[in-house]
Amino acid sequence: MFQSLNHVISMKDFTREMIDEVLELAEKLEPFARGKPCRMLEDKLLALLFYEPSTRTRLSFDAAIKRLGGSSIDFGMVEASSVSKGETLADTIRVVSEYADAIVLRHPKEGAARMASDYSSVPVINAGDGGGHHPTQTLLDLYTIKRESKLEEIDIALVGDLRYGRTVHSFAYALSLYGVNIYLVSPPQLQMPQHIKSDLVHRGITIRETNSIEDVLGKIDVLYMTRIQKERFAEQSEYLAVAGSYRLGSEMLYSARENLIIMHPLPRVNEIDASVDATSHACYFKQSFYGVPTRMAVLVKLLGGNV
């Protein structure tokens, strides 16, 4: 069990010790994520409730529980569930928490996972709540840095939609526990929300803001690119004004540090050109694989199982 944590809702609830425990466990579980037989959670059933589209988060949770010997249930598309008949999230959670041993929830409303945890008799894992948080993405992002770079005294740039991007909100809180140097790179309209920046400064982190990738490319160890979150804009015109703000091409990497790693939670739209994929810096596909051992570690922490 996580010390004092029954649900995984926000990175704000995590101490550095708790994160380090997950990352160490993920490393031990990596051979099993690659297919070594394992029955650690063979009696456990995981419910996957996705009210928003997903490829990696959903499939890697499904892979994670199955690689641990357990199984999963889901309601498929939201349209095929009783949600389309008007069932409330609270009622759905009450019911599903009687069927399964844990619930993975993705929902378009910020705060939905926290609310769901009030109605659930089993652990709830936030797999993204609107423009809020995405804590397990952060855990796999940290695991990627640990495996592919080093997780201390590094310089990191978060690039793109820092306003609506839930991955960067969660990530920034966790990074503040590792004393890293953070550059925030976004168009002025998509800056990191003020309350998050204030929290980071309060935690003793120096943040620098710019709107240009070129400004920071030669000064960083990790470049974390993100997609402009089209679905979160109130007006299409506001989206169009910032769409395509960033496009990283391999020709821009001449000034990069030799060991720079480029990450992206995916899906990418056009912010990383395919020419970057073949460079030694590209790390985003490895990063999506690391979602499996990391989510296995989260499930083992929440549901028990002897390692």
- 46 known ligand binder: no
Q: Is 193 annotated as a binding residue?
A: no
DSSP string, 214-267: HHHGGG-SEEEE----GGG-SSHHHHHHHTT---B-GGGGGGS-TT-EEE--S-
Is residue 58 annotated as involved in ligand binding?
no
Residue written as token pair 């985003």: 284
Binding mask 107-136 for ligand NCD (x = CB under 6 A): ---------------------x-----x--
Report residue 26 CA to chain centroid gap. 15
Nearest CB to ligand NCD, comparing residues 56 and 197: 56
Instruction: Answer for the pair 222, 263: CB distance below 8 angstroms, yes or no.
Output: yes
Q: Of the two residues 94 and 148, which places its CB atom closer to ligand NCD in the complex?
A: 148
Residues 141-180 that bind ligand NCD (CB under 6 A): 166-167
8 binds ligand NCD (CB under 6 A): no
From candidates 14, 46, 48, 56, binder to ligand NCD by CB under 6 A: 56
Quick count: other Cβ atoms within 10 Å of Cβ 298? 25
Query: What is the smallest separation between the CB atom of 133 and ligand NCD, expressed in angstroms?
Result: 9
Q: In terms of CB distance, is 29 or 140 closer to ligand NCD?
A: 140
The angle formed by the CA atoms of residues 299, 301 and 305, to the nearest 5 degrees, is 85
Max Cα distance, the chain (Å): 55
Q: Which string of x and - marks every residue 250-269 that binds ligand NCD (by CB under 6 A)?
A: ---------------xx---
Residues in Cβ contact with 202 at an 8 Å cutoff, skipping those fewer than 6 apart: none
Tell whether residue 57 is a contact of ligand NCD (CB under 6 A). Answer: yes
Instruction: List the one residue from 107, 147, 227, 281 that touches ligand NCD (CB under 6 A).
Output: 227
Measured in residues, the chain has a length of 307
Q: Which residues bind ligand NCD (CB under 6 A)?
A: 56-57, 128, 134, 137, 166-167, 227, 265-266
